[in-house]
Structure 1
Amino acid sequence: MSQLEVFDRFESEVRGYIRSFPVVFETARGSVLVAEDGREYLDFFSGAGVVNYGHNNPVFTEALAAYLGSGGIIHGLDMATSAKRDFIEAFQRLVLAPRGLDYKLQFTGPTGANAVESALKLARQATGRRNVVAFTGGFHGLSLGALAATGNEKYRAAGGVSLGDIARLPYDGYLGADLDTLDLLEKMLDDPGSGLDLPAAVIVEAIQGEGGINVASAAWLRRLRAITEERGILLIVDDIQAGVGRSGAFFSFEESGIVPDLVTVSKSISASGLPMALLLLRPEIDVWKPGAHTGTFRGNNLAFVSARVALETYWADAAFTDAIAERSVQLRRALERLAAEAPEAGFTVRGRGLMFGLAAPGRPELAAAVSAQAFARGVVIETSGARDEVLKFLPALTITAEELDRGLAVVREALLAALAA
């Protein structure tokens, strides 16, 4: 049996990434994945943003091994455990307090989609309204409530049922750089003939990841916050992929200075790749009745351990974000050089922090071709956007300058090969 035959024969056709990266991976460390045959791959994918601190970071693996060796609680539902208490205290001390944020923490089921479901349910309960505004290009998960707020046709078609109670409006830049799309939102909210019922909430990504690395401007986010505040609409920021340092700050909305009512966090919050998600909510919105939103694995104590250690190791001072800023400049400049070197592709560079896209809307097939050529040369990199027209760069936040340069050189070779083909 070949190395992939067992997956072809026995695993569902729903599998996706294995088709783009068809090898059996066995080990990983930092920014390097190693296949069963010993070949190494530089990782510009980071588990779709799950391993921001790199694979098998020894800071976390050692803490987890010690916790397991001590007989610490692993499964705790929403009961009190020392691991959960220590994480909550660290999150308050190192994340919320320095930013002047007053949020309560809700530990949802351990997926980003479940955190979004929690946010939507709570917003509707707190306001007594049903409608929610979402944006073109948004991706919020594939469970039905989150899927209703997701824009991508492919994912929506798989739902199999009507996806309602969502009004979709254009994201920043959707109609071109010269048009402020919030003019439409404000007009429709204030016009009783628009057909847009007063929403319970607006849900938005400050940087759209799956939508193609679309970055909302700080001014646009500030205006969105003002519009929602003036009308008693709750603002939900989905920070599942763009959060935990990916944008260059802990939260992707920090640059704009806004304070959302609810924030969804998942992916890299556990730091170690273990499943974990949480919803941050202003205390006055906390209208839940006990047990109104549950989940068997909302008490992943191993994730609490690695999440706490990550906060204490990387977020106690500015050294980590300073390093991200250096790598961000390095990545942006390299991508701008690539775009200039291949003007026939019509590339544009967009992104922030270590979340960048090389977009070719006029040649949507090109990103997938570059991804395939890069994988053949030892770099794992994915695509995003409605037509997969964006080559998406999500290297580990801990990647070294040398590793980043080496991977970018491979991407350049892959791009030239794709263009030649």
Structure 2
Amino acid sequence: MTESTHDTSTNTEIFSDRESEVRSYSRNWPVVFDTAKGTTLTTVDGDEYLDFFGGAGALNYGHNDDDMKAALLEYIQRDGVTHSLDKYTVAKRAFLETFSSTILEPRGLDYKVMFPGPTGTNAVESALKLARKVTGREAVINFTNSFHGMTLGSLSVTGNSMKRAGAGIPLVHATPMPYDNYFGGVTEDFQWMERVLVDSGSGMNRPAAVIVECVQGEGGINAARAEWLQALNELCVRHDILLIVDDVQMGCGRTGEFFSFEFAGIKPDIVCLSKSIGGYGLPLALTLFRRDLDEWTPGEHNGTFRGNNMAFITADVALRKYWSDDTLQNRTLENGRILRERFSPLVYKYEGKLELRGRGMAFGIAFLENPELAGQVMARCFDNHLLVETAGPSDEVVKFLAPLTLTDEGRDRGIEICYEAVDHVLAQQYV
């Protein structure tokens, strides 16, 4: 075996010299990470950081869960199939059986499961293609401040202007509509949308689908109300439009229930999952849809890495370990309540300057007057060994996506660090 010559120093020169300028998170956290466990990331020089970033939602169960790791190592040790495209494997069968019995059947969801490729944007692309194929229509309605992925179809239904500009070509066949509370509650949410759908003079073609996030992550932790989602679902039914829920970042328990739409009592026609569905941070994506929508011909949508068997192994463990009862769900809802309660004094102290957002463990602190303060808070948190990111159209929201499995001690320490950072930054600005 060739001896490893990997650099274990704090040197970052190779990254700035060789890695593309497109890198982003590393600019905010310029240290070299080496190991990770639970909610802790450790650098090569032994410094520990509390992780409230959670792989941008890919690590709902934390880093290196012992049970998932053991199952994965055993699978690799026995030479279990790693790459299989869409061939039948023992690992895929176990995952599908567990996903059906643990997630779909208890919720009365009779979805077919498609493996479109390993990432969230693969799931969104396949959802858009299927909706257009089934309906024979081209247009898709999306929402302000939405984010659905970085490939062209997903970008076309994304609201962020900077990310859209990266496409380099016109992004067409999508019509943005106002997300919940976009007008601050001063107008009836779907009045204009319904009018243009029924008005033959509006110039709007009847869309194939509506795509929505029940909580907008990258858009600023904007949480839709249950009644808004219910009204959207009813509008889609009235006009024979398919409803797609993008649950890539907010699914797998992030908002409390496994799916972010459950609290509203709706059943979307198509659902996109990725990120934490792999359980261990391994790439995996699913596109779920009603049985009658399964009009694909063999190979019509495919991908070389749509059969990630190692992710099937860890996903199967994650579902059985965390979703066989409602313990994790209840803890997530309780932690979300605690986060809002603990940060509320700052909202009162700096009246009109802050807003708390989110649902469950999708939590955000929005800076209403000075968006740049969120970045200062993120930097101060990093200096005190807490990882948080920013979100929103102007990066005005400090965003928490901490692992759902964090301990009370880790939760309280993260709150303490971030509370001090927010208070310090605002005091510098206003006091």
TM-score higher than 0.5 here?
Answer: yes
Query: For residue 27 of structure 1, what is the aligned residue in structure 2?
Result: 35
1:48 matched to 2:49? The reply is: no
Query: For residue 121 of structure 1, what is the aligned residue in structure 2?
Result: 129
Measure how far apart 1:339 and its partner are.
2.2
Query: For residue 13 of structure 2, what is the aligned residue in structure 1?
Result: 5
Query: For residue 196 of structure 1, what is the aligned residue in structure 2?
Result: 204
Secondary structure at the aligned position of 2:200 is classed as coil
Query: For residue 247 of structure 1, what is the aligned residue in structure 2?
Result: 255
Query: For residue 363 of structure 1, what is the aligned residue in structure 2?
Result: 370
Measure how far apart 1:182 and its partner are.
1.3
Secondary structure at the aligned position of 2:72 is classed as helix
1:347 matched to 2:354? The reply is: yes
Q: Tell whether the 8 Å contact from 1:173 to 1:180 is kept in structure 2 after alignment.
A: no
Moved over 6 A (4+): none
Query: For residue 185 of structure 2, what is the aligned residue in structure 1?
Result: 177
Secondary structure at the aligned position of 1:276 is classed as coil
Distance in 2 separating the partners of 1:218 and 1:390: 22
Distance in 2 separating the partners of 1:45 and 1:381: 5
Measure how far apart 1:230 and its partner are.
1.3
Instruction: Out of 19-28 and 333-342, give the one that drifted further.
Output: 333-342
1:397 matched to 2:404? The reply is: yes
Aligned length: 420
Measure how far apart 1:199 and its partner are.
0.1
Using a 3 Å threshold, how does the CA distance of structure 1 residues 56 and 2 change in structure 2: closer, same or farther?
closer
Distance in 2 separating the partners of 1:63 and 1:182: 48
Query: For residue 423 of structure 2, what is the aligned residue in structure 1?
Result: 416
Measure how far apart 1:21 and its partner are.
0.9
Using a 3 Å threshold, how does the CA distance of structure 1 residues 264 and 43 change in structure 2: closer, same or farther?
same
2:301 to 285, 293, 304: 293
Q: Tell whether the 8 Å contact from 1:200 to 1:234 is kept in structure 2 after alignment.
A: yes
Secondary structure at the aligned position of 1:280 is classed as strand
1:282 to 290, 295, 304: 290
Query: For residue 210 of structure 1, what is the aligned residue in structure 2?
Result: 218
Distance in 2 separating the partners of 1:178 and 1:18: 41
Q: Tell whether the 8 Å contact from 1:373 to 1:417 is kept in structure 2 after alignment.
A: no
Q: Tell whether the 8 Å contact from 2:255 to 2:333 is kept in structure 1 after alignment.
A: no
Distance in 1 separating the partners of 2:173 and 2:255: 30
Q: CA RMSD in A?
A: 1.1
Aligned partner of 1:390: which letter? V
Measure how far apart 1:202 and its partner are.
0.3
When normalised by structure 2's length, the TM-score is: 0.96
Measure how far apart 1:395 and its partner are.
0.9
Aligned partner of 2:127: which letter? A
Matches within 5 A, 1:72-151: 72-151=80-159
Distance in 2 separating the partners of 1:235 and 1:152: 21
Measure how far apart 1:416 and its partner are.
2.8
Measure how far apart 1:2 and its partner are.
6.1
Secondary structure at the aligned position of 1:348 is classed as strand
Distance in 2 separating the partners of 1:207 and 1:361: 19
Measure how far apart 1:309 and its partner are.
0.5
1:70 matched to 2:75? The reply is: no
How many percent of aligned residue pairs carry the same amino acid? Answer: 50
Measure how far apart 1:340 and its partner are.
2.5
Secondary structure at the aligned position of 1:161 is classed as coil
Q: Tell whether the 8 Å contact from 2:120 to 2:285 is kept in structure 1 after alignment.
A: yes
Distance in 2 separating the partners of 1:69 and 1:211: 42
Gaps of 5+ in 2: 1-8
Query: For residue 160 of structure 2, what is the aligned residue in structure 1?
Result: 152
Deviations 1:384-404 (A, max 9, x none): 000000010111100111111
Q: Tell whether the 8 Å contact from 2:31 to 2:43 is kept in structure 1 after alignment.
A: yes
Secondary structure at the aligned position of 1:358 is classed as strand
Instruction: Out of 176-185 and 259-268, give the one that drifted further.
Output: 176-185
Distance in 2 separating the partners of 1:282 and 1:173: 30
Q: Tell whether the 8 Å contact from 2:126 to 2:301 is kept in structure 1 after alignment.
A: yes
Secondary structure at the aligned position of 2:244 is classed as strand
Distance in 2 separating the partners of 1:212 and 1:181: 19
Q: Tell whether the 8 Å contact from 1:45 to 1:393 is kept in structure 2 after alignment.
A: yes
2:334 to 295, 306, 326: 326
1:162 matched to 2:162? The reply is: no
